[in-house]
Amino acid sequence: MNTKLQEQRSAYWKANLRILIGCLIVWFIAGYVLPIFMVDVLNLISLGGYPLGFWMAQQGSIYVFLMLIFFYAWRMNRLDRKFDVHEE
Amino acid sequence: MDLKLMIYLVVGATFALYIGIAIWARAGSTGEFYVAGKGVNPVANGMATAADWMSAASFISMAGLIAFLGYSGSVYLMGWTGGYVLMALLLAPYLRKFGKFTVPQFVGDRFYSNTARIVAVICLLVISITYVIGQMRGVGIAFSRFLEVDLLWGLIAGMGVVFVYAVLGGMKGITYTQIAQYVVMIFAYTVPAIFISLQLTGHFLPQTGLGGSLSGQDGMYLLNALDQTLVDLGFNEYTTNRNLSTMNIFLLTMALMIGTAGLPHVIIRFFTVPRVRDARKSAGWALVFIAILYTTAPAVGAMAMYNLIDTFHPGGVGNPEAAMVYEDRPQWMRTWEETGLLQFEQEGDGERVHYYNYKNPPAWTEEAELDGYTVANLDRDIMVLANPEIASLPNWVIALVAAGGIAAALSTAAGLLLAISSAISHDLLKGVFMPKISEKNELMAGRLAMVAAILLAGYLGLNPPGFAAEVVALAFGLAASSLFPVLMMGIFYKRMNRQGAIAGMLVGISTTLIYIFLYKGWFFFPGTAMLADNPDGWLLGIAPQGFGTVGAIFNVITAYVVSKLTAPPPKEIQDLVESVRVPRADTA
């Protein structure tokens, strides 16, 4: 493997890790910080008939998880093209 | 039409469909047997993964647990969905790029060691067999309840059906059958939920109905009413109820998430899509189909609880003179009483049933004459199956729920059996002990391994080592502490070597197993538990169900330290890791 390609590869991997870490931070906030650690505070606010913390634990976190996966897939497909490592 | 006849018809029709599909899509080659020829569209694959993943625990148990646990039940909702984020981001694309058939194969090649591969096979077998025991029991209970036969015959009927389509069809057959099972399952789950949501709140979507206001009660919100009613009965508020400490809620949720991403029969799914970008998306589609059930479940739980209390207290809570008369109890209570999962006890000569928190009686019970019946046993697992009857829905809905419960248990059992058979035939025989085995013999060995696994799981399902929920929790903890950390480090830490991976897996799985056995009994034999299974007896206050998270941390630390102390992996392995990290390898 030549040096240029190697540099490209390592830049691609670093960009991937940045996106990955960003997504995992959102995952942790949506799955742990809001619905578990901060639930009592959030419950003071209501969303229709739902206390917000309870909604986050039983509905909201799942929607965030879903959006995260599709966001990551979309973002990575763009990255693949940018670095010309996408599949046919 | 008679309910029993209706159930026979609906369940029979769905079975004919599954078996028909299995025969139509019979596997021809070993590739098709294990991974459906890598030709499965990501949406279809997502749907099949959803059916594979959602077992009797999701379909039958979860909403019932939530009904009684309220907020604490969220650990299951978040734990069993959040794992897909880890799967999609950290594992699926890389394992697909690696392009092999099984999880142990990845471990063996990445860590250039047959020992590592065998250790991974052992972890896989321990995880899958414990999990499949719970499923077989679920299959048996569902069959015996709805066919009204003995548990033994229910189990035998279930084993027969699993045998036909898993053994003949292989992965290709299972994939298409599971798509049909998903459709049956989701209809069976959402149709009654929509009916009940409309009845109670006027909302079509149960997801908004749960946050809606009750019909005909001037704007009173369902959740507020439920909170108030439960407090009046002497229970905790629904939306804030906590049965575990914050630390244990955290550890349990984490163990379920990591465990999801470490379950071999789910991981294997991402080997079956055509391209890396399909693997990324496929996990998302799986979660879409799972989320339809998982966002409906909290509404099912809360509404079932509300309706149940209403059935016991038709004149409102705190008005014992108007409580339900025992002799006038609805038919569904009589049916479930026969199974022993619902029991009443006569305390005096009164004719009414009094339901409240007997351990913490509310004030209104003190003055009233409560000399009637008490509810001695109300099993959480009957809530989903009884739900349409509690809300007096039509018979075809009740029959549909029966078919859905059976579909959930069968689809998961089949996926697990496939993972077991490929581990034995492909990893142990072909990979290690008999490399020259012919394709035909390998297929035969895979099918024999499946038959053996069905018989073993059926036997243990009849004599289970513990409650199904405990067995399932063990399977997740084990997956979290053994396979997930090693797979992840294999991709993200190039320096990870053979010694580190083997040590990590062994330390992770054994500490978790020992911790669970200390509280639940050695190999689950009753009476052999050495420590008391309650918050006072737990080491550092950690519940056994959540220990998988701690086991995973031990795994990572051990693997890291051992790999630092030993030689780095050879150059070609480091190049292999490099190539797994990019979707298109031909430029390497």
Determine contact, residues B426/B439, Cβ cutoff 8 Å: no
Q: Among B106, B111, B94, B119, which residue's Cα sits nearest to residue B569? A: B111
* For the ranges B214-223, B235-244, B286-295, B400-409, the one whose mean pLDDT is highest: B286-295
- Mean pLDDT calculated for residue range B195-215: 89
- Assess if residue A14 is contained within a domain: yes
| Percentage above 70 pLDDT, chain B | 91
Task: Fill in the DSSP letter of residue B29.
Answer: S
Written as one letter, the residue type at B239 is T
Contacts of A36 in chain B (CB under 8 A): 246, 249-250, 253
- Mean pLDDT calculated for residue range B532-556: 84
Determine contact, residues B353/B326, Cβ cutoff 8 Å: yes
Q: How far apart are CA B89 and CA B417, in angstroms?
A: 26
Q: With 0-12 CB in 10 A as exposed, 13-18 as middle and 19+ as buried, what is B557?
A: middle
> Does position B588 have pLDDT exceeding 50, yes or no?
no
**Does the beta-carbon distance from B298 to A59 stay under 8 Å?**
yes
Can you give the pLDDT at residue B292?
95
> Does position B302 have pLDDT exceeding 80, yes or no?
yes
Can you give the pLDDT at residue B43?
83
Q: How far apart are CA B581 and CA A1, in angstroms?
A: 15
Can you give the pLDDT at residue A70?
94
What are A68's two structure tokens?
């995260």
CATH number of the domain at B3-306+390-463, out of 1.10.10.10, 1.10.1070.20, 3.30.565.60, 1.20.1730.10? 1.20.1730.10
- Binning pLDDT at 50, 70 and 90, where does residue B82 land? very high
* β-pairing verdict for B373-378 and B353-354: parallel
**Does the beta-carbon distance from B239 to A1 stay under 8 Å?**
no
- Mean pLDDT calculated for residue range B10-22: 83
Sign of CA dihedral B405, B408, B411, B416: negative
Q: How far is B145 from chain A (nearest CA, A)?
A: 30
Determine contact, residues B230/B236, Cβ cutoff 8 Å: yes
- Assess if residue A48 is contained within a domain: yes
> Does position B585 have pLDDT exceeding 70, yes or no?
no
> Does position B296 have pLDDT exceeding 60, yes or no?
yes
**Does the beta-carbon distance from A49 to B211 stay under 8 Å?**
yes
- Mean pLDDT calculated for residue range B513-529: 74
Determine contact, residues B347/B372, Cβ cutoff 8 Å: yes
> Does position B32 have pLDDT exceeding 60, yes or no?
no
Range of the domain at A13: 9-82
Is B138 in the A-facing interface, judged by CB distances under 8 Å? Answer: no
Determine contact, residues B1/B395, Cβ cutoff 8 Å: yes
Can you give the pLDDT at residue B587?
46
> Does position B267 have pLDDT exceeding 50, yes or no?
yes
Q: With 0-12 CB in 10 A as exposed, 13-18 as middle and 19+ as buried, what is A20?
A: middle
- Assess if residue A76 is contained within a domain: yes
| C-alpha pair distances (Å), B135 with each of A66, A79, B123, B270, B432 | 27, 41, 19, 22, 30
DSSP bridge pairs for B353: B373
- Mean pLDDT calculated for residue range B249-261: 92
**C-alpha angle A28-B75-B355 in degrees, rounded to nearest 5:** 150
What average pLDDT is seen over chain B? 83
- Mean pLDDT calculated for residue range B233-245: 86
Q: Which pTM does this prediction carry?
A: 0.89
Task: For residue range B464-481, list pLDDT tens digits in order.
Answer: 655 566 677 778 889 999
Determine contact, residues B36/B171, Cβ cutoff 8 Å: yes
Can you give the pLDDT at residue B42?
77
Least confident of A17-21, B153-157, B339-343, B583-587: B583-587
Can you give the pLDDT at residue B352?
86
Q: How far apart are CA B283 and CA A54, in angstroms?
A: 26
User: Scanning every residue of chain A, which has its alpha carbon at the shortest distance from the alpha carbon of B240?
Assistant: A54
Least confident of A49-58, A60-69, B91-100: B91-100
Task: For residue range B391-411, list pLDDT tens digits in order.
Answer: 888 888 888 888 888 888 877
Task: For residue range B328-368, list pLDDT tens digits in order.
Answer: 888 888 877 877 778 888 887 888 888 888 888 888 877 77
- Assess if residue A4 is contained within a domain: no
> Does position B34 have pLDDT exceeding 70, yes or no?
no
Determine contact, residues B54/B289, Cβ cutoff 8 Å: no
Q: How far apart are CA B60 and CA B473, in angstroms?
A: 16
Is B212 in the A-facing interface, judged by CB distances under 8 Å? Answer: yes
- Mean pLDDT calculated for residue range B303-332: 86
- Mean pLDDT calculated for residue range B66-76: 90
Tell which phi-psi region holds residue B444, choosing left (phi > 0), alpha (psi between -120 and 50) or beta.
Answer: alpha
> Does position B501 have pLDDT exceeding 80, yes or no?
yes
3-state DSSP assignment of residue B353: strand
- Assess if residue A44 is contained within a domain: yes
Among candidates B213, B295, B582 on the partner chain, residue whose Cβ is nearest the Cβ of A59: B295
What are B53's two structure tokens?
């993943």
Q: How far apart are CA B361 and CA B112, in angstroms?
A: 63
Least confident of A78-87, B182-191, B425-434: B425-434
- Mean pLDDT calculated for residue range B443-452: 84
**Does the beta-carbon distance from A69 to B283 stay under 8 Å?**
yes
Can you give the pLDDT at residue B37?
47
- Assess if residue A87 is contained within a domain: no
Tell which phi-psi region holds residue B239, choosing left (phi > 0), alpha (psi between -120 and 50) or beta.
Answer: alpha
> Does position B1 have pLDDT exceeding 80, yes or no?
no
Determine contact, residues B12/B157, Cβ cutoff 8 Å: no
Task: Fill in the DSSP letter of residue B328.
Answer: G
- Assess if residue A1 is contained within a domain: no
Determine contact, residues B139/B162, Cβ cutoff 8 Å: yes
Written as one letter, the residue type at B447 is R
DSSP bridge pairs for B352: B325
- Assess if residue A3 is contained within a domain: no
DSSP bridge pairs for B346: B373
Among candidates B77, B86, B250 on the partner chain, residue whose Cβ is nearest the Cβ of A36: B250
> For chain B, how big is the Rg over CA atoms in Å?
25
- Mean pLDDT calculated for residue range A17-42: 93
Determine contact, residues B238/A58, Cβ cutoff 8 Å: no
> Does position B482 have pLDDT exceeding 90, yes or no?
yes
Task: For residue range B133-165, list pLDDT tens digits in order.
Answer: 777 777 777 777 677 677 778 788 888 877 776
Task: For residue range B46-64, list pLDDT tens digits in order.
Answer: 888 888 888 877 888 888 8
Total residues belonging to chain B: 588
ipTM for the predicted complex comes to: 0.94
> Does position B235 have pLDDT exceeding 50, yes or no?
yes
Is A25 in the B-facing interface, judged by CB distances under 8 Å? Answer: no
* β-pairing verdict for B353-354 and A46-47: unpaired
Number of folded domains that form chain A:
1
- Mutation site, A7, A65, A76, interface B, largest B CB count within 10 A: A65
Q: Which residue shows structure tokens 């646990």?
A: B69
User: Which B residues, 218 through 247, put their C-beta within 8 Å of a C-beta on chain A?
Assistant: 221-224, 239-240, 246
**Does the beta-carbon distance from A69 to B240 stay under 8 Å?**
no
Choose between B151 and B178: higher pLDDT.
Answer: B178
> Does position B26 have pLDDT exceeding 60, yes or no?
yes
- Binning pLDDT at 50, 70 and 90, where does residue B427 land? confident
Can you give the pLDDT at residue A68?
95
> Does position B209 have pLDDT exceeding 90, yes or no?
no
Phi, psi at A73, each rounded to 5°: -60, -45
Determine contact, residues B482/B509, Cβ cutoff 8 Å: yes
Instruction: List the B353-354 sheet strands across, edge first.
Output: B342-346, B373-378, B353-354
* For the ranges B174-183, B555-564, B568-577, the one whose mean pLDDT is highest: B555-564
Determine contact, residues A67/B89, Cβ cutoff 8 Å: no
**Does the beta-carbon distance from B84 to A69 stay under 8 Å?**
yes
State the DSSP string of A12-69: HHHHHHHHHHHHHHHHHIIIIIIIIISHHHHTTSEETTEEHHHHIIIIIHHHHHHHHH
Contacts of B207 in chain A (CB under 8 A): 59
- Give the Cβ contact number of residue B438 at 10 Å: 11
**Does the beta-carbon distance from B207 to A35 stay under 8 Å?**
no
